[in-house]
Amino acid sequence: MGARTGSFLSGGTPRAPEPNAYEDNLSPPAVHLRSAVCLLGRYPALAGVDFDVAEGEVVLLAGPNGAGKTTLLRLLAGLLPLASGTAIVLGHDLAADRHTVRTELALVGHAPGAYDDLTVRENVRFWVRAGGGRVSDADAVLEQLGLGRLAGVAFGRLSAGQQRRTGLAVALARRPRLLLLDEPHAGLDATGRDLLDDLLKSSAREGRTVVLVSHELDRARALADREVTIVAGAIRPVASPKHEDETGDTPEPPGVPHGTQPDQLPAPERVGVPRPDGGGTR
C-alpha cells in the first residue's frame, strides 16, 4: 500500500465575553468559544477568542496570513488542544474530550489526505465508511464534483486540482454536521469552483453548518451568511456580506497592533483510523 500524500496564557483576569446574538437563542450554537486560547509552543496563536456559529449558518473567516484562521479551524476539529477558556463544538466540550467530536465534522485542509495507490472511488468510499456514511453518498458526490470519469484512476496519478476535488468529495460525502473548509477553492479550475459552490449552497439548504476560510472574498461572501475577521489571534466582527451599509461598502474591521505572526503551523495530528489494507493505523 502506498503512502498517503500530504494535505497565552495570562495571569490576569479573563475579559468578559462580548454580547452575542445567540445567547438568547433556545437552540445551542454549533460552535461556542469564550476566551479561547490556543498555543503553538508558547506562542498564543489564538488569544482569547469569542466566537459563536449557529446551527445551519455559513460563516466566512477572513484575515491576513498568520492571523490564526487555520489554527481556529484545527481547534474546532479537535486537532489542537485548548489551553484555556471554553470551547463547545456540536455539544462536545473540547477541554474534556477533543476526539469524539471528530466523527461529526469534516475538515478540509491544504493536504488532501488520500492514499496514492487507491483509486478516487476507493479513497472516497473508504473514508465515508470510516465515518459511518453511505457508499451511495460517496458515488453521488463524485459525480457532482465532476470526478465520475476519474473514479477508477489512482489518486497519485491525478493533477493537483483533481486531488483537491477528491479531498472535498471525501468531506462532503460524509455529510457531517459541521464542515470546516480551509481555502477550499485553492487549486480548482473555474468549473471546479462553480461545482463546489453549488454543493456548498446545497449543504446550507440542508442545514449543515459551515465555517469557511478564504482569501477569495468576493466568491466566499456570496456563500456566507456572515463574515468575521481574525487578526493577531483575535476575532474582529464585520458586517454581514448580505447586509452591507448604506454606501454599499463592507465596513473595515477596527485597527489592531501589528506584529510578526508565524506562518508555519505544526504538522497535522494523526488520527487513528485503520488503513484499508489492515496495515496499522494512520
DSSP annotation string for 32-57: EEEEEEEEETTEEEEEEEEEEE-TT-
Question: Which one, of 79, 41, 39, lies nearest residue 182 by Cα?
Answer: 79
Report how far residue 204's alpha carbon sits from residue 56's, in angstroms, rounded to the nearest whole number. 6
H or E element that contains 121: helix 120-130
pLDDT number for residue 238: 57
pLDDT, residue 159, reads 92
Strands 105-108 and 58-62: unpaired
Contact call for residues 35 and 14 (beta carbons, < 8 A) = yes
260: CB partners within 8 A, 6+ apart: none
Residue corresponding to grid cell 468576493:
218
Nearest by Cα to 62 from 210, 217, 196 = 217
pTM of structure:
0.73
143, 132 contact by CB (below 8 A): no
**Position 279 pLDDT exceeds 90:** no
Rg (Cα) of the chain, in Å, rounded?
19
Question: How far apart are the C-alpha atoms of 85 and 72, rounded to whole Å?
Answer: 13
Please choose, from the candidates 231, 202, 122, the residue with its C-alpha nearest in 3D space to the C-alpha of residue 166. Answer: 122
Q: What is the mean pLDDT of residues 67-81?
A: 93
pLDDT tens-place string over residues 150-204:
999 999 999 999 998 898 888 888 888 999 999 988 888 899 899 888 888 888 8
Cα 176 to Cα 212: distance, rounded to the nearest angstrom: 14
Walk me through the domains of the chain, giving residue ranges and CATH numbers. Answer: 26-237 (3.40.50.300)
